[in-house]
Structure 1
Amino acid sequence: MDVYQEAMEYLKSQHVPVEVEPDVLEEDVFQEEVVSCFFSPLHAESVDFPETPTTCSQEEMLERRHKVLIGILESEEVYLRELDALLMPMKALRATAGTSQPVLSSRQVQTVFYQVPEIRDMHQSFYAGLKVQLSAHSQTELSPVLQPQQGSDPESETRSFGEETEMKHKGFELMVGDLFLKMVNQISFYGGFIQNYEEAVDIVKKCTQSDPRFRTLAESMMSNNSSDKTRTKYTFEALLYKPLDRVTKTTLVLQDLLKATPEDHRDYTVLQEVLRLSRSFLSGVNESSQCKREVMLSHGMRRKLMRDGFVINEGDRSLRHLFLYTDLLLCTRVKPTTRGKQDQYRFCWYLPLAGLKLHWVADQDQTPDTHLRLHTIRTKMYLLRQQLRQHTKGSKNSTLPTRNKKKLEQLELMLLTHSIDYRLELHSPSAKSQSLLFSSLYELEEWREAIHKLTTDNIETVPPDLLTLTSACVKLRMTQHPPLHTTFTGKDENSLCGTLSVAIHSACGLQQPACVYVCLEVDGYKFYDQQSKTHSSVRTLDPHWDQELSFQVDEAQNLRLLCVGQSDGRDGRETVLGRSSVKLESKTLNKRWRRQTLIMGQVEVTISLKYTPHVLDAPSSTAQQQLIFGVPHEIVAQQEGVLVPHVVRCCAEEVERRGLDEVGIYRISGGATDIIALKAVFNSNLREAVTRLRCADVNTVSGVLKLYFRELPEPLIPAELFQSLAKMLEIEDLDLRLVSMLALLESCPDANRYTFVYLLHHLQRVSEKQDKNKMTLLNLATVFGPSLVRPPVAGLGQDGPTIDISQEVVIQVQVVFSYLQCNNLPDARISPPHDTDAEDETTHL
């Protein structure tokens, strides 16, 4: 018997009527665009279940849950019939593969039906289990407790507490979480099917075109409809697409079920985990499928889309849609169209990736006009947001929120295009260059990293067919909308509204010494500054900052951090050494510090988080300037959230880095003009001041440190201790004298005491190099004594005899000299502890 006839006979034995060369298919779900559309991020249309009511009782919620499960069961039944129709010819095709005239080879049969039997068995098991559970539940519902009698009197509506408990218990009996968990744990079968899908479709297409026997088979596949016993006709390709369509719907079906499941139901936690696993699987499939996006140009070159998104083009400061292909960058703009018509893109520019050089820089400071404009936009956004909040509390005007949301979106878009902090420069060997602007360093680094991976060993390609390439962007795009917080509405109860404080402690894991800082970014509504940076550390393998930064946030859900290294050269180039993100949830953060360690590639950064919820004030037009010089020491430490102010630490670290061998360090003064200039920068911008320290003359750095202590309104050692210290100098036994002086130091305020001890340790390290710098402990005491220890101001009623001026200087020097001679100084704590919660141990993310 002919091989084709054998296949036909098999189909007839299964009671499937076969038509020869059918002209019209009753249903062909597989359209021409399916292959290209599939490789956009997996999407799905949710099963048509009723929406969750905004407010409903548990009984109503459980009833809706039951309807959702019935819908899932019916959907599974249809899907199983489709899989059966797909598998129906497999046996015949496999049997004919070993003959002299095979329809498909053994390998082709295996490829076409790869993982389909396993998927069918998985869903058959799930369907059977779900059907049993629903049947058992339907019988339970016949209980009088669960089925109120018709025509009951009004008093029956008021149930006793015991009856309500019975009702709740009965309604909570339906348990299906384990069935879903078992199915999602086998979802990897779909992974194999998806990876093989393109090749399977290719085989079916080629065989359909070349072999009339297979074409008749492939275009005459039938599926039974159990409801009316009719049959639906599919093409082979349409049935092959069914598993793809099914797996993309999994997450949305689970979302519907979870929304209809009360939180105190025993299935709730299990379904949350099932949803997480399903999302994780689809996310992984999206990542692997993105590399399969392709555009076939007129000259036959294979080109794939790797990434796309919205950026600001420097030329006209307009929003542009950027597409990154395997061999080029394409910048486009959306062509305005009338309502109802498909979007179109217009070409702006393109750059080949071969030889492309990347360099990013921080943008210049904003002009006063720009700052004022941004503040105006933020104020308007804040007011609109307040109106929306008030509306949700009971206003009946339905047009107001829609109009305000639209305005809010427009203002946020304006803010996005004007608040530019970074520029990514693209330099092509062909002398063509472009610059992209970003308000987020994290987003810039994502683009830079993606482009850099493709520029490595990239070969020059044939110039693209720009018309075809630009036209294809509409279907290939992954990102549909600009990254606006207003667009992604849907209040998250765990989002933050109030003050988020972040203390950045230290980092480790650097491969070589570097000056490093940490950049932080938060999301949410952009009423306030959402980015901040620590000062730059000294050049070291183990940078320490112990710097506290605060953000005013509204609906913040994510904190993103980048560790950035600065080059030693004059070009000021900076390199992102690592990045990470932290999910912010109000239920896990509170008013006490929570410490954790973030792994950013090879770098580990230790931080602490604290969150204080409160109603936000309107954004301020200018940040309050916090002076450092001439301000009481405790106030400086308090406003910086530390025990040792940054000006002291940064100057001391810089002196230790390159001034220990400098002859006369701290004795020889730097230029007065340079010192005054650095003082002014410290009073206005700590980051800028620390950056300038790196290239300032080391004697200027030491002069700034001396000036800070000299201009303190009150000395580090309180004036009321002067007389006591003078008396202690009379103790002849040095050890006893030092013990007494250290004990007296305990009465100083914490910030004063720890800063003084920190300085003593630093000066001792300077003195260890006295053979080179010629600065002994006595020399250093002579320099710092008059600034650190001062007598009480005359005429304020102090007790004790007055001391003449010459004797005062001797006492000042001798006190500091005595402390410097102490070999067992206590450790200098830099900042207050930030991990005060006993249960909050360091976690690695």
Structure 2
Amino acid sequence: MSTSPPDLREVFWVMDVYREAVDYLESQHVAAEADIMEEDVFQEEAVSSFLATMNIESIDLPDTPLFSAEEMLEKRLVVIKGILESEELYLAELDTLLMPMKALRASAGTSQPVLSNQQIQTIFYQVPELRDVHRSFYSDLKARLDTHYQDELSEESGKRCFELEVGDLFLRLVNHIGLYGGFIENYEKAVEVVKKCTNSDPRFRTLAESMMSTNGTDKARTKYTFEALLYKPLDRVTKTTLVLGDLLKTTPAEHRDYAALQEALRLSRSFLSGVNESSQSKRDVTLSHDMRRQLMRDGFVVDSSEGHRSLRHLFLYTDLLLCTRFKHATRGKQDQYRFSWYLPLAGLKLCWVAEQERAPDMNVRLHSIRTKMHLLRQQLKQHSRASRGLVFTARNKKKLEELELMLFTHSPLYRLELFSSSGKSHTLLFSSLYELEEWRENIYKLTSGTIETVPPDLLTLTGACVKLRMTQQPPLHSLSSGNDRDSLCGTLTVAIHSASGLQQPAGVYVCVEVDGYEYYDRQAQTHSSVHSLNPHWDQELSFQVDGAQSMRLVCVSQRNGEDDAVLGKTTVKLESKTLSERWRRQTLRLGQVDLAISLKYSPHPLEPPSSAVQQLPLFGVHIEKVAQQEGVLVPHVVRCCVEEVERRGMLEVGIYRISGTSSDINVLKAAFNSNLREAVSRLRNAEVNSVSGVLKLYLRELPEPLIPAELFQSLAENLNIPDENSRQASMLSLLQSCPHTNRNTFLYLMHHLQRVADMQDVNKMTLLNLATVFGPSLLRPPVAGLNGPSLDISHEVVVQVQVVLCYLQCNNLPEAQTSLPRDADAEEETTHM
């Protein structure tokens, strides 16, 4: 049968499935029929038919091994024996392929040659060298096994089994794997010569269609075509990688072969990856400007369609996005993909948004999943060293993987919306803003230039995903091989200070993500700063971490009327040896932005995850409690309102005197009591008089005023000091006795009101006007009978206004400290990412 040369990538994939099926039958003692003609099993029709029958509706996680070290060694011996038998069969096939070479070379010198010397060289290129390498490997492996079986009946048979070493043989074999590179490079030429000569010369056709080989211990005779024999080395190079993986799985980590087998597998996979890449560059569709379709990125995402969330494997090519449904290989089967949808990159528009919060029922569901995950891990820790708990441990690991997969599917809050020029659209969901931005960046780079889309063969493209993919598993922590001993467990606190380097003023927030087990929230964001070239937050974000090894930061700009834009991102490695309970300050480079942060870490056992705790209310709460909760000296509600007024209210006539709408003020108050970031977002769009009204309301509702009541009488007496300098000095001295939070918040507010008064020619707000507005909120007399004689109401107001006015008139008013000191004497570390 004449067919076009098969695509190497598809050939590798289909033959892997075929070979694994044969191996499975052999392991079940199902004998293959002798004297069977091996036809061209890699025909395109066979490939299409096989792909069309794939059924991939769900994802299965890999089975967890249930074997003890002794059982692994027994299975390892079975694997080695199977490899030896397979090598014997392969050598017989190579000998059959080389059998006519000598006769063909002899005829090349006659007047009627069957093949020319050049054609012979093309057909048999590198085959003799491959046979010699495998013959040497087979001989050495057989000798090792024979020696082992001779000692099998001794009392130390278990020890002998453990001492059987073959890793050096596989490493030596793989070091010669480069021979296959030349064979593969020449393969299509060789097939073309065979086909051409089969069609043109009856002598060669007879030879090419009736080559016989004696295989196996039963000496069964098998008939091959020349093309089928030429394919055998292609099959073998992929088979080598597979059997190395099987051998490594059955080799205990403490075995002396383990390191050598690991290196052999790495080299084999690296070679195969290079072959695939080379094959891809040859067969790919040519796009505009001589660009070829190549895989640029792949990974697992959540696809949202009609309210349903589904785990999908996404592939980004140079000209299109391919979304597939994935099913991991069960035992004895091949990983499989089924087409879901694709979008051309030409004309593709992207938009990302962050949902403010999840539905209450979803939060309950996620909390239930996290609690179960935490309990399972605790049980796994308890049974990890118990010999009787192997099956129990395996089952719990499987359950943990399934629960983490559910969390991965249902926890995302970020949406990446894709809009095609043809009108089609799809929505992808991400738990990580950092990962979403990586996908967006990769897609944007490809769509920013002129690009042409050649309609793909979706069946072939989907089928090739097994070989092309760079990501094997969903990003589940339970599947990672990281060392928990080097990870963080306890409380990690991140203080986000300020940023510099912006090209234009913007409202900016910072998103912080940590990795590890997902029993606790792993992501938090600062509030949005006021529009500025140098935004600052001094906001603390606290994480309960378990298994954390890295932290990712994303700096995002919010511009009125436009989509949020990521200014930069970076990753920070978390090492317990470099972190402590003292703050450690550093500056990170995130794209165009330099971000100043501090870190501290307190290791301790963690409590089970609790349900999502809502933010404690801010209004009507003692200011020290609010500041302690936020890790600052001036509460964010005060700073955010002040910054917003200074951004767009300094020229507003009657600012702080003219009240905003009470309904708007109440809405902002409720927002601050529940979600700081949402509150700041609302603040930017509210009437500026409502913003000033929120600040006045917060100060008015404090259980205790900023200036403690016990100072009222002393301050009133100091107003009678005739010398202005002495009076101000005494007033400032009294202010020093206030609690840190009260004093710094008061000073922060005073400096702000001084700046407002500087614009009194426009806003009509003098220092006296401002003192009159704020005096009753900032200073209150003591309750009658507790701290001195009571005053009449008229004298109270006079004292309140005059005290605040006195502070506003100070030219040497100390600067306010907005955040807690964080090891100011420590050397600042600058990290460029």
TM-score normalised to the size of structure 1? 0.67
Q: Secondary structure at the match of 1:587?
A: helix
Q: Secondary structure at the match of 2:403?
A: helix
Letter in structure 1 aligned against 2:283: M
Alignment of 1:66-465 (within 5 A): 202=185, 293-294=280-281, 296=283, 302-315=292-305, 316-335=308-327, 339-363=331-355, 365-392=357-384, 396-465=388-457
Q: Secondary structure at the match of 2:517?
A: coil
C-alpha spacing 1:717/1:469, structure 2 compared with 1 (3 Å): same
Shift of 1:817: 0.5
Q: Is the 8 A contact 2:9 2:279 kept in 1?
A: no
Q: Distance in 1 between matches of 2:479 and 2:801?
A: 65
Q: Distance in 2 between matches of 1:565 and 1:717?
A: 37
Structure 2 equivalent of residue 825 of structure 1: 813
Shift of 1:296: 3.2
Shift of 1:422: 0.8
Structure 1 equivalent of residue 798 of structure 2: 810
Q: Secondary structure at the match of 1:782?
A: helix
Q: Secondary structure at the match of 1:621?
A: coil
Q: Does 1:580 align with 2:570?
A: yes
C-alpha spacing 1:322/1:735, structure 2 compared with 1 (3 Å): same
Q: Secondary structure at the match of 1:458?
A: coil
Q: Secondary structure at the match of 2:485?
A: coil
Q: Does 1:524 align with 2:516?
A: yes
Structure 2 equivalent of residue 50 of structure 1: none
Q: Is the 8 A contact 1:293 1:306 kept in 2?
A: no
Q: Secondary structure at the match of 2:479?
A: coil
Q: Distance in 1 between matches of 2:277 and 2:742?
A: 58
Q: Distance in 1 between matches of 2:560 and 2:274?
A: 38
Q: Distance in 2 between matches of 1:468 and 1:32?
A: 8
Shift of 1:492: 2.8
Q: Is the 8 A contact 1:642 1:831 kept in 2?
A: yes
C-alpha spacing 1:290/1:493, structure 2 compared with 1 (3 Å): farther
Q: Does 1:494 align with 2:482?
A: no
Shift of 1:396: 3.9
Structure 2 equivalent of residue 126 of structure 1: none
Q: 2:769 aligns with which of 772, 779, 787?
A: 779
Letter in structure 2 aligned against 1:759: L
Q: Distance in 1 between matches of 2:498 and 2:14?
A: 48
Alignment of 1:750-769 (within 5 A): 750-769=740-759
Shift of 1:287: 12
Shift of 1:298: 8.5
Cα deviation, 1:651-686, whole Å, max 9, x if unaligned, reads 000000000000000000011111111111111111
Structure 2 equivalent of residue 731 of structure 1: 721
Cα deviation, 1:66-120, whole Å, max 9, x if unaligned, reads xxxxxxxxxxxxxxxxxxxxxxxxxxxxxxxxxxxx99xxxxxxxx9xxxxxxxx
Shift of 1:621: 1.7
Letter in structure 2 aligned against 1:384: L
C-alpha spacing 1:654/1:759, structure 2 compared with 1 (3 Å): same
Q: Distance in 2 between matches of 1:672 and 1:617?
A: 43
Q: Is the 8 A contact 1:291 1:305 kept in 2?
A: no
Shift of 1:643: 0.2
Q: Is the 8 A contact 1:681 1:688 kept in 2?
A: yes
Structure 1 equivalent of residue 665 of structure 2: 675
Deviates more, 1:285-294 or 1:682-691: 285-294
Q: Secondary structure at the match of 2:686?
A: coil
Q: Is the 8 A contact 2:493 2:599 kept in 1?
A: yes
Shift of 1:625: 3.5
Q: Distance in 2 between matches of 1:473 and 1:732?
A: 87
Q: Distance in 2 between matches of 1:496 and 1:426?
A: 37
Q: Is the 8 A contact 2:418 2:426 kept in 1?
A: yes
Shift of 1:408: 0.5
Cα deviation, 1:21-41, whole Å, max 9, x if unaligned, reads xxxxxxxxx99978999xxxx
Q: Distance in 2 between matches of 1:313 and 1:31?
A: 28
Cα deviation, 1:440-465, whole Å, max 9, x if unaligned, reads 11111111111111112233322111
Q: Secondary structure at the match of 1:564?
A: strand
Q: Secondary structure at the match of 1:766?
A: helix
Structure 2 equivalent of residue 637 of structure 1: 627
C-alpha spacing 1:566/1:291, structure 2 compared with 1 (3 Å): farther
C-alpha spacing 1:395/1:696, structure 2 compared with 1 (3 Å): farther
Q: Distance in 1 between matches of 2:745 and 2:495?
A: 19
C-alpha spacing 1:298/1:793, structure 2 compared with 1 (3 Å): closer
Q: Distance in 1 between matches of 2:602 and 2:765?
A: 48
Q: Is the 8 A contact 2:619 2:701 kept in 1?
A: yes
C-alpha spacing 1:293/1:362, structure 2 compared with 1 (3 Å): farther
Shift of 1:838: 3.0
Letter in structure 2 aligned against 1:827: E
Q: Is the 8 A contact 1:297 1:464 kept in 2?
A: no
Shift of 1:302: 4.0
Structure 2, unaligned stretches of length 5 or more? Answer: 1-7, 16-67, 70-116, 119-124, 126-176, 195-229
Structure 1 equivalent of residue 556 of structure 2: 564
Structure 2 equivalent of residue 25 of structure 1: none
Cα deviation, 1:500-526, whole Å, max 9, x if unaligned, reads 100000111111111100011111111
Q: Distance in 2 between matches of 1:361 and 1:754?
A: 37
Letter in structure 1 aligned against 2:543: F
Structure 2 equivalent of residue 45 of structure 1: none
Q: Secondary structure at the match of 1:463?
A: coil
C-alpha spacing 1:609/1:734, structure 2 compared with 1 (3 Å): same
Letter in structure 1 aligned against 2:527: H
C-alpha spacing 1:505/1:292, structure 2 compared with 1 (3 Å): farther
Q: Secondary structure at the match of 2:325?
A: strand
Shift of 1:339: 3.4
Q: Distance in 1 between matches of 2:254 and 2:754?
A: 65
C-alpha spacing 1:496/1:574, structure 2 compared with 1 (3 Å): same
Between Structure 1 and Structure 2, how many residues are aligned?
A: 627
Shift of 1:405: 0.7
Q: Is the 8 A contact 1:595 1:843 kept in 2?
A: no
Q: 2:689 aligns with which of 696, 699, 711?
A: 699
Q: Secondary structure at the match of 1:537?
A: coil
Q: Distance in 1 between matches of 2:691 and 2:274?
A: 51
Structure 1 equivalent of residue 780 of structure 2: 790
Q: Does 1:741 align with 2:731?
A: yes
Q: Is the 8 A contact 1:559 1:582 kept in 2?
A: yes
Letter in structure 2 aligned against 1:430: S
Q: 1:838 aligns with which of 810, 816, 826?
A: 826
Cα deviation, 1:351-398, whole Å, max 9, x if unaligned, reads 000010000111352212111111111111111111112223657422
Q: Is the 8 A contact 1:297 1:469 kept in 2?
A: no
Structure 2 equivalent of residue 466 of structure 1: 458
Structure 2 equivalent of residue 628 of structure 1: 618
Letter in structure 1 aligned against 2:684: R
Shift of 1:596: 1.1
Structure 1, unaligned stretches of length 5 or more? Answer: 1-29, 38-53, 56-101, 104-111, 113-192, 212-234, 262-270
C-alpha spacing 1:839/1:662, structure 2 compared with 1 (3 Å): closer
Q: Distance in 2 between matches of 1:792 and 1:612?
A: 42
Structure 1 equivalent of residue 583 of structure 2: 593
C-alpha spacing 1:287/1:605, structure 2 compared with 1 (3 Å): farther
